[in-house]
Amino acid sequence: NTGLAVILDVVYNHLGAEGNYLGDFGPYFTDRYRTAWGEAFNYDGPGSDEVRRYVVDNALYWITEYHIDGLRLDAVHQIYDRSATNLLQEMATAVHQQAERLDRRALVIAESDLNDPRLIRPVEQGGYGLDAQWSDDFHHAVHAELTGERNGYYADFLGLEDVATALASRFVYTGQHSGYRRRRHGAPAATIPADRFVIAIQNHDQIGNRAAGERLSVLLSLNQQKLAAALLLLSPYVPLMFMGQEYGETHPFLYFISHEDPELIEAVRRGRREEFAAFGWTGEVPDPADPETFERSLPDRLIATAQGHAGLLALYTDLLALRRSEPALRPGDAAVSVMFDASAGWISLRLTPEDAAELLVLFNFDRQHAEARVPLSEPGTWHLVLATDDRRYEGQGMFGYDGAVVTMAGAGAALFRG
C-alpha cells in the first residue's frame, strides 16, 4: 500500500471529433443541445435510458475492473440533462454503491463552471451527491491579483477582496452579476464543508488555453510564486498541483493535437485563433498540429536544482509536509476566519480546529517593502512556523515579528501556530 490514490479524468459531455462512430449504432447523441466540442450526449430524450446506462456502466467499469479510486468528470456544465434524476446524481449513487459492495471508497469529482452547490449537496438535501467539485473562482481571483491580467473571464476579478472571498466563502460569484457572462452567476456555498472544493493556481486548462501556454513561473517573480504556493497549500480546501509547478517549470504547456483529418486540423487552428482574438491576446498562436508544439511543452526537470527553482521546491516540500502534520490544514477540519486590508495589501487566514493547535496565515501582496499589521486577538501568543522569505527558500530573510506587527519584504506569506 503506497498511500497513493488514482483519480481518472473521464469525459461524459462529448466524444472526440475524429473517430467517433458511436452515433451509427444508436441514439447516443442529440441535436437539442450543443457543446463546445460538437454533439451532446442524449441523456434526456427518446432512447436515453440505454445511453445513460451505457455511460454509468462505463464509470462502474473503471471502479470495478481497474480499481480506480475516483473519477474526475470533465466539464459537467456541458452535460445537459433535464430529467427528474440528473445523470450526475445517478452516476454518483451508482459509483458509491459499487464501491461499498467492493469494500472500498470511490470518489466522484466534478469539474464545473457553474458555481452550483447542488452538485455536492447530499441527495437527501436536494443535491446530486458528488464528493467534490473544482472551484475556478479561487484560481481566477489569485491569478488576476498577482498577474494584473483583466482580459476574458479575469475581468470579473478585480482585487485582493476577491481572493479573501474565495478563501472564506468557496465561491466569489454567489448570485451577483458577472460582467464577463453578462448575467447573474453562482449560488452561496459557504455552509458546505471545505473538503468538497478542489482549488488550483495552475492546471492544464488554465495554462494550455493561453495563446502562448505561459506558466506562472514566467508571469510572476519568485516571491510571487512562493506567495501563490502558500495561498494554495495553506488554504482550507483540497489543493491541486500541475506538473512542474513545484519547482517553477518554465517551459510552456501548449495546446497540441494529433488529428489526421486535414479539415479538422484546419478547423482547430481557426478556432484557436478566433478564441484568442476574442480574449484579447495578441501575437502568433502556436500551430497545435506541429510536433514542435508538443516538444516545446515537455518539462525540463533538471532545472529543479537551479537557482530560483530549488528554493521554490523546498517551499513546496515543507508546505506539503505541514499539510500532513497540522490538523488545522486538513480540509474541512477547521473553522475559517478571514480578514483583509485591500489598501495595505494583506489577507489573514485563521484556521481553528476543535482539538488541535490553531494556525494563522498572513498573506502580503505588497510588492514593495511593507509592514503588515496582523489582526491578533491575543498578541504575543503566536509562534512562527514558516515564512516564504526564509533563506531556505532563496529569500532575503527579511522578516520581523514583535507580537503585534509582522514586517515582510515584498510579496510573501508567514504561518504562525497558536
Angle at 238 between CA 235 and CA 244, to 5 degrees: 90
SS3 275: helix
Main-chain dihedrals φ then ψ at residue 23, nearest 5 degrees:
-65, -15
| DSSP-derived secondary structure letter, 93 | H
Query: Which set of grid coordinates corresponds to residue 58?
Result: 462505463
Among the options 69, 74, 149, 161, which is catalytic? 74
| Closest to 289 (Cα-Cα) out of 311, 312, 257 | 257
Give yes or no for a contact between 180 and 156, defined as CB atoms under 8 angstroms apart.
yes
| DSSP-derived secondary structure letter, 285 | P
Among the options 81, 90, 111, 358, which is catalytic? 111
Neighbours of 311 (CB within 10 A): 21
β-pair partners for 197? 133
Give yes or no for a contact between 246 and 312, defined as CB atoms under 8 angstroms apart.
yes
| Closest to 72 (Cα-Cα) out of 204, 265, 251 | 204
Give yes or no for a contact between 129 and 106, defined as CB atoms under 8 angstroms apart.
no
Quote the distance between the C-alpha of residue 191 and its chain's center: 20
| DSSP-derived secondary structure letter, 167 | H
205 in catalytic set: no
284 in catalytic set: no
| Closest to 255 (Cα-Cα) out of 218, 283, 200, 296 | 296
Q: Could you give the residue numbers annotated as active site?
A: 74, 111
